[in-house]
Structure 1
Amino acid sequence: MQHPVRRSLLALVLALPFAAASAEPRIFDAHLHYRPAVAEHFGISDVARTLASNEVRGAIVMSPEDNLIRRLKAGTDTRIVPFLEVSQRLGKKMDWMHVEDLGERIARMLDDSEVKWHGLGEFHILADDRFGPGLEQLLDLAVARDLTIMIHGDPAVIDHAYATHPEVRILWAHAGSYAYPPLVQDYLERHPRMNMDLSMRNPRINPEGQIDDDWFELFLTHPDRFMIGVDTFTATRWAQYTRLKDETRAWLAQLPEDVARAIAFENGERLFPAQ
């Protein structure tokens, strides 16, 4: 591994074109929520203004409501990639995997919707719940309908999913429950059809404003497997979007230009192309 000082200087030099090309390079946000309770306090125009001012050209938006997605698509220039957020419509967010007819219920939601959904989630699940019947049905449905699943869960859940459904596409929220670079690298190498969003991980990646050496090396090793995200699970998070995004840009600017560009927007645009 490079000496940290030499590595930091190299990263700064290599990142200059990325930083200098535009004060606000475009981004693809892979982890946004927009729910009815939030919409009451942070309206469509607020979302549109926030995304535009931060150069968010594309975004995964998780919502339980068709109407909110349709209004977002009509009210913003950002390309919206809709994920159907269903777990809280089925009960408590940690109990969804025990719903016996989960697959049928989600299939009906998809069939009855006017929105073309690209994925399902975010689904929270602990390791002990990975054998719940709902997870198997969810994986079956995702494979059958070519949908990506966003999992907020333990490593054992990811292993189980790929043991039973090797073809499924998973977006592992927050780089997993235990976002330590050695574990993250292990899982990226185990499961080539899995990608990760880095929402909520700025403090680990960029402590005290200096990108962590292990994260730096991990990004250089797997630049095509990560996406950034803010995770707007409350209206407060939406109101803080610019600050949270700037915290992400602070460590992106320390990466080589091509790596920063891949993580900032190219991976999202490649994995979720315009249709």
Structure 2
Amino acid sequence: MGQTPIPENSVVVGVDGTERDREVVRWAAGAALRRGVGLHAIFAQEAMATAYAPLGLGLDAPLVTQAGEEVDEGAPVRESVEEILAELPEAPPLTFSAPWGTGSQTLLEADGVAQMIVVGTARKHGLTRFLLGSTSLTVAMHASCPVVVVGPDGVPESQGRLVVGVDGSRDSSKALHFAMDAASRWGHKVVALATWNMAVVDGYVVTEPESEEWKRTVADMEARVAEVVEEVRSGDERIREVEVEIDVQHGRPLTALVAASQTADLVIVGSRGRGGVRGALLGSVSQGVLAEAHCPVAVITH
């Protein structure tokens, strides 16, 4: 069971055998159905792999008991995933593997094969307001395919809107394309959210919300976002009919995106990472949205 290959272009979901799997698997199954692909669930047998690591056994080696029987805790987890899918009106075809290794390691091995990786997380209080679980953060930081993180708030009732942060960067253009592509599959609209903090018009800092300078600043930003939307739309025939609402707000992008997540089905952010694929670091906004959003978050890397 542990060595089942990951089907190419599948949606990959990380499971851990806990109740949290329910909403993560359901979200991933919906994504697989919308994309017309299979669902591959990965259960990392982390505890046993860690325990046997000092013995020099590789991650591909089966672990055995003293009686010579292979140790594999994946079967009950697979059954649990199958039960979750059986509750759905329609479910994608399922494949399953239970490799030895850490959660992040085994999920990242799917990178380059999967269309998307879906993982759950539990937030913990710490030195910052929230700290993401190590698996979800590591996968979001290092995967080259889109990663969707389903937080402890779970999956909210559908609001018919996907929110994407747009700032004019290449990362945000890729995030916008992902959002519009997803919206075309869901039949939802996209909210392209842009923020500004300080602007200077005719030599003066804009401070009055109802002033002409304020209105001009917002209008200029709306026009720039509209240009990006049309540029992304023109490159893909399938997304040309997707409804896009442009929302320009004064303030911090993190604050605006977290607030918008309260009435969104999904928030999409570009990674703004630096370095190579395996050495990328998420930008502060992406990390903050992952930690604080009230709905699932998709991270789109460059």
Tell whether the structures are fold-level matches, with TM greater than 0.5: no
TM-score normalised by length of structure 1: 0.28
Which structure carries more relative contact order (alpha carbon 8 Å, separation 6+)?
A: 1
Larger helix fraction of residues: 1
Which structure has the greater CA radius of gyration? Answer: 2
